[in-house]
């Protein structure tokens, strides 16, 4: 059975919009079709589990939208130039820094860590986005937006650098709450004499030392980080789209600047309907840092023996707007939860009650209602999982027929379309189990326990597997 339900009438969801600070009913611009952009990795190093919290949230959000009957176009960018160590204009380009430290060129660094990222998301069973545009392949689109911003009076050129004039955009600060008044009062930023306002940010920069450079109307240089997301999202999703996600550390300055750029260039508001951000992740109660020894990439955890599906479970089972404290014990607990679900699924195979159970339909209805209601309420994954485990407990009390078991299994598979932790029922697992039963049957017959031997044949038959005895042994096939 296919996991995604029919697509005619998508169910309603409510989501928390960082922009309005409200829980809002989710209404895509085109009913049933959702366009979503997720800020992706800067490929100068392996992504950390903090980064993966945001990517798994985006994955579960996409899966939930599909579960509720929407078609989703998902774009995740790859930043391979222009992201400075400060997240703003200051510091060194993260790509150049990594290249210098690892004695490679930035293109090699980008290629290597981009492929590592793709490997990692596969390991975490994150569904592939429709496209992963790379910043370095979209410089022409960025230049076009910068030119438009200059034309519209939102940007200016000084010494081959182009800056966004934040005082030209009244909405600046609306997303993050960092209004110009507040920022100027704080005045932490050193005044760059090239800038008209201290908060102006670079759209295009000149630096003869930077290895990655492109020609532009303002001289050779490279793009700022923020302009990349404005350019790549509009190229693939249009001038206005439904959802933009990121970690809460992206809200300012990154997303604030993206809004100023995109709305400044097109004049269309709102650029994005719903802004959704994951909260931070701690490890053992503290911020991840190499010096504390609590800095984990996915690879570090796999090396320590963590099951990637358990890591996924930990990252998705806490509501995305709650801080998450990641510990190795929590991975163990998650592994146990997954084991309970896979054991439950395996037991469904043994169902053999002669008649359907009258209580089951109501239990399934309630279970689905609880799971759906939790997901629909701002993606409350922890409540959805609680509903699932309630269902497991209730079903475990029943004697199920084969048809009952198939109904439960179909619902479990539909839920797993959202969770992504159980995977398909593995054929190898089945084969091993059948072979073990054949062996047991053979031994039963040797000790003349024909009753048990016959039981095994019946049990397998009930599961659609028939045994054929021949001179040298027994083989099995599906009915």
Residues 420-479 interacting with Zn ion (rule: CB under 5 A): none
Based on CB atoms, which residue is closest to Zn ion, 212 or 272?
Answer: 272
**Which residues fall within 8 angstroms of residue 318, CB to CB, at 6 or more apart?**
324, 381, 382
Burial class (CB in 10 A: 0-12, 13-18, 19+), 231: buried
Query: Which residue reads 């920022």 in tokens?
Result: 183
Out of 13, 39, 395, 405, which residue is the one contacting Zn ion (CB under 5 A)?
A: 39
Of the pair 133, 420, the CB lying nearest Zn ion is at: 133
Nearer to Zn ion, 17 or 318 (CB): 17
Site for Zn ion in 202-241 (CB under 5 A): 229
DSSP code for 69: T
- Report the DSSP beta bridge partners of residue 324: 281
Q: Whole-number minimum distance, CB 247 to Zn ion, in Å?
A: 10
> Cβ closer to Zn ion: 39 or 311?
39
43 lies in the binding site for Zn ion (CB under 5 A): no
Q: How far is the CB of 229 from Zn ion (least distance, A)?
A: 3
Min. distance of Cβ 231 from Zn ion in angstroms?
Answer: 11
Per-residue x/- mask for Zn ion, residues 373 to 392, rule CB under 5 A? Answer: --------------------
For residues 212 and 136, give the distance between their C-alpha atoms in angstroms, rounded to a whole number: 9
Helix (H) or strand (E) holding 60, with range, is helix 49-67
Identity of the residue, 229 or 437, whose beta carbon is nearer to Zn ion in the bound complex: 229
Quote the least distance from Cβ 162 to Zn ion, whole Å: 19
Q: How many angstroms separate the CA atoms of 356 and 162, rounded? A: 71
191, with CB counted inside 10 A (0-12, 13-18, 19+), is exposed
Tokens read off for 59: 């994955």
With contact defined as beta carbons under 8 Å apart, do 420 and 336 qualify? no
The tokens for 306 are 């963590």
* Region of 12-20, 31-39, 127-135, 326-334 interacting with Zn ion (CB under 5 A): 31-39
Q: How far is the CB of 367 from Zn ion (least distance, A)?
A: 38
Question: Least distance to Zn ion from the beta carbon of 254, Å?
Answer: 6
- Count residues binding Zn ion (CB under 5 A): 2
Nearer to Zn ion, 76 or 363 (CB): 76
> Least separation, in Å, of the C-beta of 232 and Zn ion?
8
Q: How far is CA 340 from CA 203, 389, 478, in A?
A: 52, 9, 28
Applying CB under 5 A, the residues found at the interface with Zn ion are 39, 229
């Amino acid at each position: 059975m296919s996991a995604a339900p029919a697509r005619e009438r998508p169910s309603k969801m409510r989501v928390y919009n960082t922009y309005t600070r409200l829980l809002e009913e989710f209404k895509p611009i085109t009913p049933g079709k959702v366009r979503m952009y997720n800020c992706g990795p800067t490929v100068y190093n392996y992504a950390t589990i903090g980064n993966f919290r945001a990517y798994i949230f985006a994955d579960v959000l996409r899966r939930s939208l599909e579960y509720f009957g929407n078609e989703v176009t998902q774009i995740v960018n790859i930043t391979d130039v222009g992201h400075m160590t400060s997240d703003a204009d200051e510091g060194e380009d993260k790509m150049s820094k990594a290249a210098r430290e690892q004695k490679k060129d930035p293109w090699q660094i980008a290629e290597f860590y981009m492929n590592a990222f793709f490997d990692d998301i596969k390991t975490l069973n994150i569904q592939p986005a429709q496209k992963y545009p790379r910043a370095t392949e979209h410089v022409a689109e960025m230049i076009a937006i910068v030119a438009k911003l200059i034309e519209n009076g939102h940007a200016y050129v000084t010494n081959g650098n182009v800056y966004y004039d934040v005082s030209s955009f009244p909405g600046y600060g609306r997303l993050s709450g960092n209004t110009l008044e507040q920022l100027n009062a704080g005045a932490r930023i050193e005044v760059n004499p090239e800038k008209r306002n201290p908060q102006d940010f670079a759209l295009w920069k000149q630096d003869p030392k930077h290895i990655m450079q492109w020609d532009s109307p303002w001289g050779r240089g490279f793009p700022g980080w923020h302009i990349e997301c404005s350019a790549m999202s509009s190229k693939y999703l249009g001038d206005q789209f439904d959802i933009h996600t990121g970690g809460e550390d992206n809200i300012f300055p990154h997303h604030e600047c993206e809004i100023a750029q995109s709305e400044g260039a097109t004049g269309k508001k709102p650029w994005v309907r719903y802004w959704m951000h994951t909260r931070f992740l701690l490890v053992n109660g503290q911020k991840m840092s190499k010096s504390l020894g609590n800095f984990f990439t996915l690879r570090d955890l796999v090396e320590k023996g963590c099951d990637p599906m358990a890591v996924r479970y930990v990252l998705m089972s806490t509501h995305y707007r709650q801080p998450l404290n990641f510990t190795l014990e929590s991975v163990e607990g998650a592994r146990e939860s997954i084991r309970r679900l896979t054991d439950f699924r395996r037991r469904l195979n043994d169902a053999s009650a002669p008649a359907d159970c009258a209580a089951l339909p109501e239990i399934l209805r309630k279970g689905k209602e609880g799971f759906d209601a939790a997901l629909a309420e701002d993606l409350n994954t922890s409540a959805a999982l609680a509903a699932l485990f309630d269902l497991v407990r209730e079903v475990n009390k029943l004697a199920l027929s084969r048809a009952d078991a198939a109904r439960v299994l179909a619902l479990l598979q539909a839920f797993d379309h959202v969770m992504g932790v159980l995977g398909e029922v593995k054929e190898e697992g089945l084969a091993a189990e059948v072979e073990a039963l054949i062996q047991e049957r053979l031994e039963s017959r040797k000790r003349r326990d024909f009753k048990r031997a016959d039981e095994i044949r019946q049990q397998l038959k009930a599961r659609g597997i028939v045994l054929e005895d021949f001179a040298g042994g027994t083989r099995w096939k599906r009915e």
